A = this chain, B = another copy of it.
Amino acid sequence: MENFTFYSPTEFVFGKDTENQAGKLVKRHGGSRVMIHYGGNSAKRSGLLDRVKASLEKEGVLFVELGGVKPNPRSGLVYEGIELCRNENIDFILAVGGGSTIDSAKAIAAGVLYDGDFWDFYNGKHVEKALPVGTILTIAAAGSEGSPDSVITKEEGMLKRGTGSDALRPKFSILNPALTETLPAFQSAAGITDIIAHLYERYLTNSKEVEVTDRLIEALLLTMKHEGPRVIADPHNYEARANIMWAGMMAHNNSCGVGRSQDWNSHTIEHELSALYDCAHGAGLAVTMPAVFKYVMDHDVNRFAKVAVRVWGCQMDFDHPEVTALEGIEALRNYLISIGMPKNFEELGAKEEDIPKLVEVLCRSEGRNGSISGFVTLNEDDCTKIYKMMV
């Protein structure tokens, strides 16, 4: 196991009706002038936004609103948010939504206290300070509610890039599983896929002797395997929603990823797909992961066999571990298809002829040097082959 630091100071308030505690939590964490940040109209229509505002008003917390966050959140709205916060002397940002809204809120929070262009942070500069952020989560997926991470897409060149800093960890996150019951099945499934991807990205490690985190990751994968289909079969299954929501947070606050190298090549390869086609990140991952895993599995066949046996219930083929490894990848793929995820480029809305362009941006754009690194280092030729496997 490698040396590490783990710091997850977010206060998680979990369960039914917890959004009504928003006002008290903002106040306790030092907020008096809040920008409520949200996405489309669903938060309005469902009455969630009204309940949140009532909770703030009850505590005498002032607020302004900035809606309009889109999936794969854009830099344009971040600049708008930074200006609004400065003009209104905002001291706390409350994100009401999913990973996109929370990531956008984090970008604004960092940008408000920075003299330069906030994009610098998505280009390698470390975030030293940021306005405090609180979240009210409406989809179990990105794990941004408990993570130090944020991913933003820059319209110019459609660059999708991430940053991470403890300064961006939310002060509090309200997790009410009931808020996710009205999600369309496709979005629920995309969220489930994203959580599973966060677990695989940590599972694929080159570190040795990491049994405790291996086992924790497997535990969360087993949970997703069990609860995912229950949510798809019955969107109003509160208990299944609750188990997935806590698994989604635990999958990404890094308590199960410490002390080990991690992969993240599937995320990096997928980001080009959602940036170009504006598809759901989870849907892109469903197509990307099996291809990447098949391409790299020879690097550590036993690791893939282990997850196949321990999570997917495959029988170990001791004479041919590569058979078991492949069986586990197929089991993952079939699981993702069974919950409604796309299985190839066509179903995703991606085009084979775009592959050279995808690889060019992936390996040659701003901050990249001809390859991407993770569990295995992949060059342009590797990435081309992987994209072709998805067709």
Contacts and interface: CB of A to CB of B under 8 A. Distances in A.
Interface of A: 1-16, 18, 177, 208-213, 215-216, 218-220, 222-223, 226-227, 239-240, 242-244, 246-247, 250, 255, 258-259
12 contacts: A1-B239, A1-B242, A3-B14, A3-B15, A4-B14, A208-B239, A209-B243, A212-B227, A213-B246, A216-B219, A216-B220, A250-B255
A14 B18 contact: no
Q: How many copies does the complex hold?
A: 2
A250 B255 CA distance: 8
A304 to B, nearest CB: 19
Contact of A259 (B5, B7, B240, B246): B246
Contact of A223 (B177, B211, B244, B255): B211
B1 A6 contact: no
B5 A12 contact: yes
B12 A246 contact: no
Name the residue among A13, A208, A215, A239 with the largest chain B CB count within 10 angstroms. A215
A218 B12 CA distance: 23
Contacts of A15: 1-4, 259
Contacts of A211: 223, 226-227, 243
Contact of A9 (B9, B226, B240): B9
A77 to B, nearest CB: 31
A5 B13 contact: yes
A131 B210 CA distance: 35
A247 B12 contact: no
Contacts of A250: 212, 216, 255
A167 to B, nearest CB: 14
B2 A6 contact: no
Contacts of A212: 219-220, 223, 227, 243-244, 246-247, 250
